[in-house]
Amino acid sequence: MTRREAHAPERFVPVREGGLAGVRVLLGVSGGIAAYKGAELVRRLRDAGAEVRVVLTENAARFVTALTFQALSGHPVRTSLWDESAEAAMGHIELARWADEVVIAPASADLLARLAQGQADDLLTTLCLATAAPVSVAPAMNQQMWAHAATQANATLLRSRGVNVFGPASGGQACGEFGAGRLLEADEIVSLLQARRGPRELAGARVLVSAGPTYEDIDPVRFIGNRSSGRMGFAVAEAAARAGAEVVLVAGPVALATPVGVERIDVRSAREMHEAVLARAKSADVFIAAAAVGDFRPRDIAVHKLKKASRDSGLELSLVQNPDILADVAALEPRPFVVGFAAETEQVEAHARAKLERKRLDLIAANEVGAGLGFESADNALLLLWPDGREALERAGKVELACALVSRIAALRAARASA
Ligand code: C5P
């Protein structure tokens, strides 16, 4: 089971110059110490080519001034629903219609709660109800407030309604605590927005992803597992869904939220994962095996908890091999585009290329595990290898890497289709 919390910092492709050219962004800033970072975000959005108008909540205006945001956005800033002259210039409904994107950064716990409730008790929440534009929120708050069941339920509800929740990141907080609740960096928010609006490279493709560890039961209370957090596979599923694919995610035991728009099937053992994947693999266009499947399982599962026979007695477990899900999918005829992962501790490229050939894969994503990389970390670095090429992806967030992997898969499939 993962030892970190589920909300890894997200990062996406580097901000493209002009990546938001002509996009009209309504930036909402709610009340919190991170409100000052909203000023930097206005700059970054404009650098990316967006036109920005800013709405401050009443509490945000206690932390930052409208004047700052007016100077940076080049437009008057609105804070109230009841400002007659502002309503005369551009009424709130016009403003809601004007926006191509609504972004709220920082989004406080209170703001998330009010959005989840569908309240319209100030200008910003009213705009969120009145707009047809996609709404994205970048939460920022004390880590305890973010972890609170009420806030988590609100975030889940908002996600289920299609609101994009960007972050939050983990790290040191203004209150002196450490944990998840930091506002993403301005560049990260811009790149997430850009990626969301970016090309839909896998539109219409059916993508099957395996993720997480497997647990092989020994008896009713014990199992053999591994340290996979499932984050890489979940990030791949999320990236594929954002690229327009229809995604089915077969997940081992992990405590991660299902990415928006992804169908999830929970399994426990390698054999359950094998069955769930093989049942769907023939009708998939792409299979991405990101799971860390246990190679062995106990020959028998004890019906009752195993007891120690005496103080110094040992226990011998007899293990048998699990099926190789990836190899079995690669042997199907017809078969999807097959992508494997290879976690290696040394000679990464040589071992991964051997695996690519041995398992007859179309692509393999290799990574070095250990030294703060790989299984349990939020960051990773990947080396992509395919029969006649390679691409090294530098250390980055798993979502960013997953996007690059998805782009490579799309490019290789496109090249194959046109060959
Ligand atoms: O051979 P190795 O376990 O290193 O291969 C790793 C790749 O094979 C990963 O993509 C993993 O998901 C997949 N695999 C599998 N079923 C297994 C073992 C590994 O699908 N039983």
Digitized pLDDT (tens) for each residue of the chain, 419 residues in all: 232 333 333 444 555 555 788 999 999 999 999 999 999 999 999 999 999 999 999 999 999 999 999 999 999 999 998 988 888 888 899 999 999 999 999 999 999 999 999 999 999 999 999 999 999 999 999 999 999 999 999 999 998 888 999 999 988 888 888 888 999 999 889 988 987 786 678 988 999 999 999 999 999 999 999 989 999 999 999 889 888 899 999 999 999 988 877 899 999 999 999 999 999 999 999 999 999 999 999 999 999 999 887 788 889 999 999 999 999 999 999 999 999 999 888 999 999 999 999 999 999 999 888 755 555 666 678 999 999 999 999 887 787 789 899 999 999 999 998 88
Instruction: Please give the number of the atom of ligand 1 that sits closest to the Cα of 277.
Output: 20
Is 360 exposed, middle or buried (CB count within 10 Å of its CB: 0-12, 13-18, 19+)? middle
Instruction: Please give the number of the atom of ligand 1 that sits closest to the Cα of 329.
Output: 20
Our mutation pick for probing the ligand 1 site, out of 324, 344, 361, counting the most ligand atoms within 8 A of Cβ, is 324
Which part of the chain has CATH 3.40.50.1950? 24-197
pLDDT value, residue 3? 29
Q: What is the DSSP letter of 324?
A: -
Instruction: State in Å: Cα 381 to ligand 1 middle.
Output: 18
Distance CA 156, CA 237 (A): 17
Which two three-digit tokens encode residue 383?
Answer: 């080396």
Helix (H) or strand (E) holding 382: strand 379-386
- Decide if 241 contacts 200 (C-beta within 8 A): no
Four-CA torsion 329, 333, 336, 339, nearest 10 degrees: 40
Distance CA 382, CA 365 (A): 6
3-class DSSP state for residue 380?
A: strand
pLDDT value, residue 6? 35
What is the CATH code of the structural domain delimited by 24-197? 3.40.50.1950
Q: How far is residue 413 from each of residues 288, 355, 389, measured CA to CA in Å?
A: 14, 20, 14
Instruction: State in Å: Cα 293 to ligand 1 middle.
Output: 6
Assign a CATH topology to domain 206-296+319-418: Rossmann fold (3.40.50)
Which two three-digit tokens encode residue 118?
Answer: 């569908």
Instruction: Please give the number of the atom of ligand 1 that sits closest to the Cα of 270.
Output: 21
Our mutation pick for probing the ligand 1 site, out of 226, 249, 293, counting the most ligand atoms within 8 A of Cβ, is 293
Our mutation pick for probing the ligand 1 site, out of 278, 326, 329, counting the most ligand atoms within 8 A of Cβ, is 326
Instruction: State in Å: Cα 383 to ligand 1 middle.
Output: 16
Instruction: State in Å: Cα 289 to ligand 1 middle.
Output: 7
3-class DSSP state for residue 49?
A: coil
Instruction: Please give the number of the atom of ligand 1 that sits closest to the Cα of 342.
Output: 6
pLDDT value, residue 9? 37
Q: What is the DSSP string of 127-155?
A: HHHH--S-EEEEE---HHHHHSHHHHHHH
Nearest CA to ligand 1 atom 13: 326
Please state the pTM of the whole predicted model. 0.65
Residues labelled catalytic: 175
Output the ligand 1 site: residues, CB below 6 A.
Answer: 210, 270, 289, 291, 293, 295, 322, 324-326, 340-342
pLDDT value, residue 375? 57
Nearest CA to ligand 1 atom 2: 342
pLDDT value, residue 400? 79
Q: Identify each DSSP E strand in 212-268 by its residue range.
A: 216-217, 223-224, 246-251, 262-266
Which part of the chain has CATH 3.40.50.10300? 206-296+319-418
- Decide if 295 contacts 213 (C-beta within 8 A): no
Nearest CA to ligand 1 atom 9: 341
- Decide if 384 contacts 378 (C-beta within 8 A): no
User: Residue 229's Cα: distance from chain center in Å?
Assistant: 13
Residue linked to tokens 């501790």: 345
Nearest CA to ligand 1 atom 5: 342
Q: Categorise residue 266: left if φ over 0, alpha if ψ from -120 to 50, beta otherwise.
A: beta
Instruction: Please give the number of the atom of ligand 1 that sits closest to the Cα of 323.
Output: 21
Helix (H) or strand (E) holding 289: strand 286-289
Q: Which residues of 284-318 are buried (b: 16+ CB within 10 A; e: fewer)?
A: bbbbbbbbbbbeebbeeeeeeeeeeeeeeeeeeee
Which two three-digit tokens encode residue 339?
Answer: 């992508």
pLDDT value, residue 326? 97
pLDDT value, residue 378? 64
C-beta atoms surrounding 268 within 10 Å: 17
State the amino acid at position 332 in one-letter form.
Answer: L
Q: Measuring CA to CA, which residue among 166, 356, 329, 368 is closest to residue 250?
A: 329
Task: State residue 377 phi and psi, 5-degree precision.
Answer: -90, 160
State the amino acid at position 1 in one-letter form.
Answer: M
